[in-house]
Amino acid sequence: MSTSRFFWRIFLTHVALIVLCTVGLSLTVVRGYRQMIEERFQSEVKTIADVLTDNARAVLLDQTAPQPSDEFFRIAAARDNQHHLFNADRILIASSVNESERDQILISNAFDQLNDQRASIEITINSRTRGPYELLLRELRHDGKILGYLQIEASREKIQDQLQNLSGITWAIVFAVCCVGVALSMIVVSRITRPVEELTRASQAIASGQWSQKVPVNTKDELGSLAEAFNEMSREMVSYINELQNQGQQLRANSERLATVLGGMVEGVIAVDSAERILFANKAAFKMIEFEGQRVVGRPYWEVLRNTDVQSVVREVLSGQFQRKREIVLPRNQSRIAFIASRLPGEPCPGVVLVLHDVTELRRLEQIRSEFVSNVGHELKTPLAAIQACTETLLDGAIEDPKHAHHFLAQITEHGDRLHKLIIDLMELAKIESEEDAFHLENIDIGIPIQEAIDEHYPVAHGKQISLITNPTIDELLVKADHDGIRTIINNLIDNALNYTPTGGEIKIGWKASEGNVVIEISDSGIGIEPRHLERIFERFYRVDTARARAAGGTGLGLAIVKHLCNYFSGSISVRSELNQGSTFTLRFPQVEEPNRLSTH
């Protein structure tokens, strides 16, 4: 038995229609048949009355009592009816029943009803006092004069029996028809609802994710066509879903690759939708805006980048502009961020992509480059101006005076040497920065170039009355570097110490092994460096005391060369200094173990 509400709705509707139609038809048939029996019964009674009327009129005219052999009693005996004959005074003169069974009350009631109707000469009364029967009372006239009355009481028992039999048969037929109709309705409705239920189950299975579904095609009617269309739809849907899944996998793979690419970019990327909410932000963007570790996706971009320039640019692009560029300064860390806002394809504009570039270091380098160009021009301008002045003075006649000519030529030579040294330092710095076969790296004993540089500066230190104190180690300390490069580093640092250490001062130089590194310290008792200059002393042409530096003959590139050489040899340099207390430069280079030591260990 199906539990489908659809089945029961149709089935019960069919059952109700069958019952209503069957009962209605049965009631109509019973009513018609009852009417037909009634009419036939009444016609039969009237026919008998017509036959008896003539005989009764003759009896009344003769004024003799009818005999049992007369036609009146013969006809009465042939019918299961009661016949009564009354004279004009309503006195019973003949009857087909015994006197004890006569009912004068009913007869008088019938006469009263006949008198009430006045124009009528016949009345029929149905009564159930003595059982079902029909009473017919008829006036008997002759020449307009009432001779008497004929009364017939016809029994209705046979009619009732016939009607009861008819009702029993009819309701039995109704019950049988209803049972057959219900059974047939169940079969028909099942054939209708079963395909619908199968389609429903298949649809629910598809809705739950079981895409491949097929329903049987049992008929050639519209339900069969619907089942075939459903199976075709299921096949097409499976094919379409498989295609969508493949595309989805490709899109996910592409999305993952894109996310990986964007995540690995140095530039920050932020995607904003048309509602000004962040759709995507990579790690670089998080770091730039200092929101790393916090949830920003789904938040309005102006909560993350609280900058009116960013807001105006994004809104301009959303309103129709294709691309806008702007540079902002973040107030938290004073970093400079350059960003490009580009609209996503589609109408209306679905969103904006912001590409962020941290240009803080770039702007700093641009400033350094600008200062470098300015410093180079200034450094070149001073000796060239001096040389030009001396040359013009000589051309104006000073060359004729040997004393002045010698002085001017000495000035030209001094400034020419300074220019030559400056150019050599610039070329050396460019060579180091190019990192293309600048030096030949090999394992060297670092003490050798250090000692050579110290020996080279002994005469200068002696002439300035500055003590050079060394604290060497007896161990062989190997580093991977270039001999001339290490010597250049030490020369520049000792030159720097000699230039800024007053007469009577001292310079200490020492080197040793420490925690896998070779540590070199060069300290002096010179004028020292103010703390605000310590971060910039390794920049090109940066001078703590410009006038004294030029007087000492420095080019302003020595420490820059030292810093680049240390980086090239995988080393580092640091400085400690106090004003008027001297400075200490510390160099560290990775120590290399000797091959024979490695083998013995």
What lies within 8 Å, CB to CB, of 188 at 6+ separation is: 14
Asked if residue 402 and residue 340 are part of one domain, the reply reads no
The per-residue pLDDT for 293 is 47
Q: Per-residue pLDDT averaged across 297-303, rounded?
A: 77
State the DSSP code for 579: T
Give residue 588's pLDDT: 92
Q: Is position 292 within any domain?
A: yes
Q: Pick the residue with more confidence: 68 or 295?
A: 295
Whether residue 395 sits in one domain with residue 251: no
- Chosen domain end from 229, 258, 287: 258
Rounded mean pLDDT, 239-251: 84
> Is the residue at 169 inside a domain?
no
Q: What is the mean pLDDT of residues 461-481?
A: 86
pLDDT confidence of residue 132: 62
Please report how many Cα atoms fall inside a 13 Å half-sphere around the Cα of residue 39, on the Cβ side: 6
Q: Is the pLDDT of residue 229 over 60?
A: yes
The whole-angstrom separation of Cα 451 and Cα 477 is 13
Predicted pLDDT at 9: 75
Is-contact 53 140, C-beta < 8 A? yes
Q: Do 381 and 313 share a structural domain?
A: no
580 or 333: which leads in pLDDT: 580
Among the residue ranges 297-301, 304-308, 440-444, the one predicted with the least confidence is 304-308
Give the pLDDT confidence score for residue 133 in this predicted structure: 65
- pLDDT exceeds cutoff 50 at 56: yes
Q: Which of 128, 162, 196 is the last residue of a domain?
A: 162
What's the pLDDT band for 541 if we cut at 50, 70, 90? low
Locus of tokens 């170039």 = 449
Query: Average pLDDT of the chain?
Result: 76
Residues 74 and 143 in one domain: yes
Judge whether 200 lies within some domain. Answer: no
DSSP 472-510: --SS--EEEE-HHHHHHHHHHHHHHHHHTS-TT-EEEEE
Q: Does position 543 have pLDDT exceeding 80, yes or no?
A: no
CA distance 58 to 60: 5
Among the candidates 314, 329, 358, a domain finishes at 358
pLDDT band at 601 (very low <50, low <70, confident <90, very high): very low
What residues are paired with 590 via a beta bridge?
517
Q: Are residues 341 and 391 in the same domain?
A: no
- Looking at residue 80, its pLDDT comes to 66
Buried-exposed string 270-280: b where 16+ CB fall within 10 A, e elsewhere: bbbbeebbbbb
Lowest mean pLDDT among 21-35, 384-398, 415-429, 534-548: 534-548
Q: Do 370 and 447 belong to one domain?
A: no
Q: What is the dihedral of CA 507, 513, 516, 520, to 10 degrees?
A: 10
Assess whether pLDDT exceeds 50 at residue 600.
Answer: no
Segment among 19-23, 37-41, 76-80, 449-453 with least mean pLDDT: 76-80
Q: Are 446 and 481 in contact (CB under 8 A)?
A: yes
- Same domain for 594 and 474, yes or no, is yes
Q: How much is the pLDDT for 124?
A: 55
Indicate whether 335 and 385 sit together in one domain.
Answer: no
- The mean-pLDDT minimum among 37-41, 77-81, 556-560 falls in 77-81
**What is the mean pLDDT of the segment spanning 23-48?**
78
Per-residue pLDDT tens digits for 165-218 = 878 888 888 888 888 888 888 777 777 777 777 777 777 777 777 767 777 777
pLDDT at residue 437, rounded to an integer? 54
Average pLDDT over residues 456-479: 86
Same domain, 40 and 117: yes
In this predicted structure, which of 41-45, 240-244, 489-493 has the lowest mean pLDDT? 41-45
Q: Cβ(94)–Cβ(68) under 8 Å?
A: no
Q: How much is the pLDDT for 357?
A: 80
Same-domain pairing of 352 and 367: no
The CA-atom distances, in angstroms, between 390 and each of 38, 78, 420, 554 are: 162, 181, 18, 22
Q: What is the mean pLDDT of residues 407-420?
A: 78
Q: How far apart are CA 398 and CA 404, in angstroms?
A: 6
Q: Which of 268-282, 292-306, 339-353 has the lowest mean pLDDT?
A: 292-306
Out of 68-72, 190-194, 525-529, least confident range: 68-72
Domain that holds residue 424: 363-430
Does any domain span residue 60?
A: yes
Cα–Cα nearest to 539, from 362, 359, 369: 369
Assign residue 402 the CATH number of its domain. Answer: 1.10.287.130
Residue 182: inside a domain:
no
Residue 202, in any domain of the structure: no
**Is the pLDDT score of 596 beyond 60?**
no
127 and 234 share one domain = no
Distances in whole angstroms, Cα of residue 261 to Cα of each of 252, 266, 293, 383? 14, 10, 20, 53
pLDDT, tens only, 133-146:
677 777 777 777 77
Tell me: the pLDDT tens digits for 544-581? 654 444 444 455 677 888 888 888 888 898 988 888 88
Statement: residue 118 has pLDDT above 50: no
Domain count, the chain: 5
Q: Are residues 511 and 550 in the same domain?
A: yes
Task: Reply yes or no on whether the pLDDT at 366 is more than 80.
Answer: no
Q: Cα–Cα distance between 313 and 326 in angstroms, integer? A: 8
CATH code of 297's domain: 3.30.450.20
Could you tell me if residue 132 is inside a domain?
Answer: yes
Residue 420 lies in a domain: yes
pLDDT of residue 125: 52
In angstroms, rounded to a whole number, what is the distance separating the alpha carbons of residues 378 and 345?
Answer: 52
pLDDT tens-place string over residues 276-298: 788 888 877 777 776 644 677 77
